[in-house]
Structure 1
Amino acid sequence: MLFPDYIFESSWEVCNKVGGIYTVLSTRAKTLVEQLGDKLIFIGPDCWGEKNNPYFTEDNKLFATWRKKTEAEGLKVKVGRWNVPGAPVAILVDFNPYFAEKDMIYGQLWEKYHVDSLHAYGDYDEASMFSYAAALVVESFYNSEIRGNKKSAKVIYHANEWMTGLGALYINDHLPQIATIFTTHATSIGRSIAGNNKPLYEYLEAYNGDQMAAELNMESKHSIEKQTALHVDCFTTVSDITATECKELMDKPVDVVLPNGFEDDFVPQGKTFDKKRAAARKRLLDIARALSGDEIEDDAIIISTSGRYEWRNKGIDVFIDAMNRLRTNAENLKKDIVAFIEVPAWVNCAREDLAERLAAMEKGEKFDTPLPTPVITHWLNEQQNDRALGMMNWLGMHNAKGERVKLVFIPCYLTGEDGIVNLSYYDTILGNDLCVYPSYYEPWGYTPLEATAFKVPCITTDLAGFGLWANTVVGKESTIEDGVEVIHRTDYNYNEVADSIKAAVEKFTNATKQKQGRIRNKARTLAEHALWSKFITYYYEAYDIALRKAEARCSKAGE
């Protein structure tokens, strides 16, 4: 198999923690650095300007000669390293100067690839100007550092998500000797269909992607994504379920499926693991106690869901419903249950009354009366319009004293500095006994993979790429006894999903401590099947496909 001498990989989430793609790239980096060293170069947006970027460390000595050339070329870049395992090279580019050339760039894109940018809105322009700037970085670096020194160097440009499509097409046009790979982590039109409460799966074969893009005002994002998929050397996605989506909605089958792996270097071990788990459990239970004024047993089962605030796609609605069904039928439960929704919303501020009560509890004080609105840790802007709080209120979920099931909304990013939890997401997840991710639309599903890596069993669905993969590894429909409960989900079986979550949670809650321990170990064992050391081979296949196509193209041009 052909293997690249250089890989340039661009994403809006390089040194810019926004969502799951950050985890994909940052955990995979170490495995590729071992192969390529400083010839693996990530390109991201310079979103921080003069402020300190906690994910990036600048190094003025790195590629110093090339950096001087970029100044003459008008490129504004920062060169350094991404603060993740492997410390890969990262180049952050200022894309703001290219807004002045936006119409010209879009005009050329239409002439060469018929990409429709006329209907652009929201983040389209910002993403496209970054993508264009990233391509200019690659072009400059290639011409300065690679072309003259290694005429036969095998070079790959790997673009992630529609947001980097414009740059991939620029490379395709201006530097045909560079092999191009495009990975869609979720099709823009598929996510939109699902998010607009339309049945995605039953009618998938009948949907026309272009027609749906027009109906849902998604023409520009769909257009750049589709044309990039059609023109790159290797088109990829992250799961079989999204591969089907690509074929039907973008009229382009993928060349390779690249499942998302995981590097477990930062999962604590031994006594450190136990200490952090105990600290997280105490904090989460104390938050529930402080809000409700109720005595909650130390052995309560802690459950959470997390991810982006996508109401239907992430299954936030069915999670709340399932917790309510547990609450109203709690006579079979042998332990208390405290559930958390850890989904960032429009936070106004941390609750002072809750912070004060938690501080007092640390000194031994106890409280037997609830705080106002005892279901949320941070006040929200326009709180009266929040969907999660609205549904909880409608169902009568007020964390009343004596109820065995409590539900708490933590609507902030868990950075360790939120004012209430004050633990990072990974330190918080350690405190869980069970995680629930009942997704309707989930191309892969990093959250359940992360949970299992931390020995937390989880519940997911077979509409998530991770859920389908878990079934494959287990060799049957995976159940909670296997470490992951994979619930069958369709366009229409919402009630069955809610009841299945309730049943799985009851089964785990009422299991003996020994059995729960075995289930936790099974979850961890399952996660080990998804380490990057195992999944990286799929990338090697994609590199080989792309490099061979580029090689054939250059040979033909030479003739």
Structure 2
Amino acid sequence: MLRFDKHTLIPYIETNFKRMAQAPNNQLLIEASWEICNQLGGIYTVIRSKLPATIEKFGSNYCLLGPLVNDGVDAEFEAIAERDSPIGQAVAELENKGYEVRYGTWLVSGRPKTVLLNPENAFSRLGSIKKQLNDQFGIPVGSDDSLYDVCLQWCDMVFQFFQVLEKKEKNPILFHGHEWMVCPALLQVGTELQKVKTIFTTHATRLGRVLAITHKNFYDIMHEIEDEAMAKRYGIPSIHQLEKKGAQKADCFTTVSEITAQECEALLGQKPHHITPNGINIQRFQNLHRVQIRHEKYKKNIENFVIGHFFNSSPFDLDKTLFFFTSGRYEYENKGYDITIKALKKLNERLIQERVDVTIVMFFITNARVKSFNPVVLEAKAMLEELKNTCKSVEQEIASNLLKSAASAKDNYQLPDLNQFVSDYWRLRYRRAIQSWKTDQWPLIVTHLLENDQEDPILNGLREQQLFNSPLDKVKVVFHPEFIAPTNPLFGLEYSQFVRGCHLGIFPSYYEPWGYTPLECIARGVPTITSDLSGFGSYTQNINDDSEETGVFVLQRKNKSEDEVVNDLTRMMLQFSKTNYNYRAIKRNKLEEFSQTFDWHQLVDQYLRAYTIAMG
């Protein structure tokens, strides 16, 4: 397996990948994933962001293959009528057999050709599909989870598509599949179709995800684990075997980071042939040197929320306030929420002890099971809006009366007492608005009503560390258990805008095969803390002698105790809390420049290398 460090990666690319500037001539690339036109997780982001760079290389010789399971697909999908090309002919033949197939353009950047196959087409064959996988590849017959059966049905349709396509297409075909969901098709195609070469990319092993949640020392024991016994114990024997066979039998097996490559070797018994790190479409994030302007703009929206949420009981100086945040899948320990909360407790103590004149507002943004927004939070926001409207009316009355006074002044040009310009009516409205809004209650931690407040891990962690938004606390906490969207009544921002308005992203993951959240932070000019147990963090260390200089802070978690990790994270946050405006502005500009390293136009060559390996 190819291994890179900061001294060899760039020279390797420069000397060996120049010949890979274009895709191999005339090869048809079919890239398949359960998340094409069906957003579920990170693979959707990988493929969608990679599209412009991939299409530049392959042009019309590129097509996506996904499941027809998204009821709202028509909003982002436009049908293609042609049935003369090899892909069109394959679609037509499946249609003639009575199968539901959609052939069209996915309406995203790059506008790729896309074929969507309905898994229900193969529902009646599910039993024989499972038997064939067992007979041919030793895959246990079962139903590991709700997604397993439907993926088997979809893969049966994928295999039929390739059977037809191979007969129609005269040139070699590359079949690139992502994650275990596509493995049944990869195995069948690789075994029975000679002209099709297979590439399998795993972004995280299914067993690894489970074990990282249940074993705090996962990285210490993963090479000693009896993988098949453990997969059976956790109810995923079929998925694990599919993934294992897919890795072992693919013409080229890749994964996204060095740390995940070690996981694959330990749990799947197969070293990846190549590392294909994830990138981003920088063009989506480029700010034309307006990174600071946008930060200030969106920070105002966050400040408006903070005023409504905190200032009715315990106001503080917004000019001396920093906004920290973390976000991602709700995996309490895998995402590092546990050590973040413990470090916040220590940060609060240090800020008080050292009398650092700054307030930290920490946002936890994730997706928990909720009933609704907390009515107390919405009521406070509504009361603040009433106070704002009252202030605007008072302002207008003062302005009107002040103008009259100034226009009629003869000898006295001094600014008069403005109180005399406010009527009794608006004085009363002003006092009542403030009285209604103010409260003696401490600000709430969570913005929503959770379905299970007593057993929520984040809330219990905050309770254990006694982070209650006391007026004396220098660290304030907001737990927003839904992902932020433009329709959100509390912020009125898109998630990307919310990120731009913050000062620091905190992602000290324990298990993170790659990690798009910190990567998207740096693309938006936001300094970030990641960890050496995340693919992004370890990759950053390998290519950069001093990543902290650019604004990427890599927390060392390998071979360290929890106390050491918490103390190190506290130190990083405290150090950032003491920085000034100019320091943070410089970091934003440096991050914008550093993010170019992760542009797909640079990293897509890693995939081209994998395709060359597959072709032999």
Rounded to whole Å, the distance in 1 between the matches of 2:61 and 2:385 is: 50
Q: Specify the SS of the correspondent of 1:201.
A: helix
Query: Which residue does 1:434 correspond to in 2?
Result: 504
Match of 2:377 among 354, 370, 383: 354
1:308 pairs with 2:332: no
What is the CA-CA distance between 1:362 and the residue it aligns to? 4.2
Query: Which residue does 2:47 correspond to in 1?
Result: 25
Length, aligned pairs only:
538
8 Å contact kept, 2:199–2:250: yes
Q: Specify the SS of the correspondent of 1:179.
A: strand
Range with greater deviation from structure 2 (72-81 or 307-316): 72-81
**Structure 1 pair 130–276 and aligned structure 2 pair: CA distance change class (3 A):** farther
What is the CA-CA distance between 1:114 and the residue it aligns to? 1.2
Query: Which residue does 1:393 correspond to in 2?
Result: 463
1:10 pairs with 2:78: no
**Structure 1 pair 199–99 and aligned structure 2 pair: CA distance change class (3 A):** farther
Rounded to whole Å, the distance in 2 between the matches of 1:25 and 1:330 is: 43
8 Å contact kept, 1:346–1:380: yes
Rounded to whole Å, the distance in 2 between the matches of 1:179 and 1:355 is: 56
1:231 pairs with 2:299: no
Letter in 2 for 1:129: Q
Match of 1:466 among 536, 548, 551: 536
Per-residue CA distance 1:105-126 (angstroms, 9 max, x = gap):
0111111111223362332223
Rounded to whole Å, the distance in 1 between the matches of 2:441 and 2:585 is: 35
Q: Specify the SS of the correspondent of 1:212.
A: helix
Range with greater deviation from structure 2 (316-325 or 411-420): 411-420
1:503 pairs with 2:571: yes
Query: Which residue does 1:527 correspond to in 2?
Result: 595
**Which structure 2 residues correspond to residues 157-196 of structure 1 after superposition, within 5 A?**
157-196=175-214
Q: Specify the SS of the correspondent of 2:335.
A: coil
Letter in 2 for 1:523: L
1:116 pairs with 2:140: yes
Query: Which residue does 1:343 correspond to in 2?
Result: 366
Query: Which residue does 2:315 correspond to in 1?
Result: 295
What is the CA-CA distance between 1:372 and the residue it aligns to? 7.9
What is the CA-CA distance between 1:132 and the residue it aligns to? 2.8
8 Å contact kept, 2:206–2:239: yes
Query: Which residue does 2:79 correspond to in 1?
Result: 59
Letter in 1 for 2:551: G
**Structure 1 pair 92–415 and aligned structure 2 pair: CA distance change class (3 A):** farther
8 Å contact kept, 1:8–1:138: no
**Structure 1 pair 475–271 and aligned structure 2 pair: CA distance change class (3 A):** closer
Match of 1:322 among 310, 320, 343: 343
Per-residue CA distance 1:335-358 (angstroms, 9 max, x = gap):
111111111111222334423433
Query: Which residue does 1:552 correspond to in 2?
Result: none
What is the CA-CA distance between 1:96 and the residue it aligns to? 2.2
**Structure 1 pair 276–349 and aligned structure 2 pair: CA distance change class (3 A):** farther
Range with greater deviation from structure 2 (118-127 or 169-178): 118-127
Q: State percent identity of aligned pairs.
A: 29
Query: Which residue does 2:267 correspond to in 1?
Result: 249
Per-residue CA distance 1:477-527 (angstroms, 9 max, x = gap):
x43x33111111036622222221211111112112222222223323332
Rounded to whole Å, the distance in 2 between the matches of 1:370 and 1:61 is: 66
8 Å contact kept, 1:4–1:547: no
Match of 1:96 among 120, 129, 134: 120
Q: Cα RMSD between the aligned structures?
A: 2.3
Rounded to whole Å, the distance in 1 between the matches of 2:490 and 2:69 is: 27
What is the CA-CA distance between 1:270 and the residue it aligns to? 4.5
What is the CA-CA distance between 1:53 and the residue it aligns to? 4.8
What are structure 2's unaligned runs of at least 5 residues?
A: 1-19, 389-433
Rounded to whole Å, the distance in 1 between the matches of 2:586 and 2:304 is: 27
**Structure 1 pair 475–3 and aligned structure 2 pair: CA distance change class (3 A):** farther
Rounded to whole Å, the distance in 2 between the matches of 1:498 and 1:270 is: 37
Query: Which residue does 2:215 correspond to in 1?
Result: 197
- Richer in helix (by share): 2
Query: Which residue does 2:150 correspond to in 1?
Result: 126
Query: Which residue does 1:285 correspond to in 2?
Result: 303
Query: Which residue does 2:102 correspond to in 1?
Result: 78
Q: Specify the SS of the correspondent of 1:183.
A: strand
Per-residue CA distance 1:156-194 (angstroms, 9 max, x = gap):
111101111111112113322111000010011111111
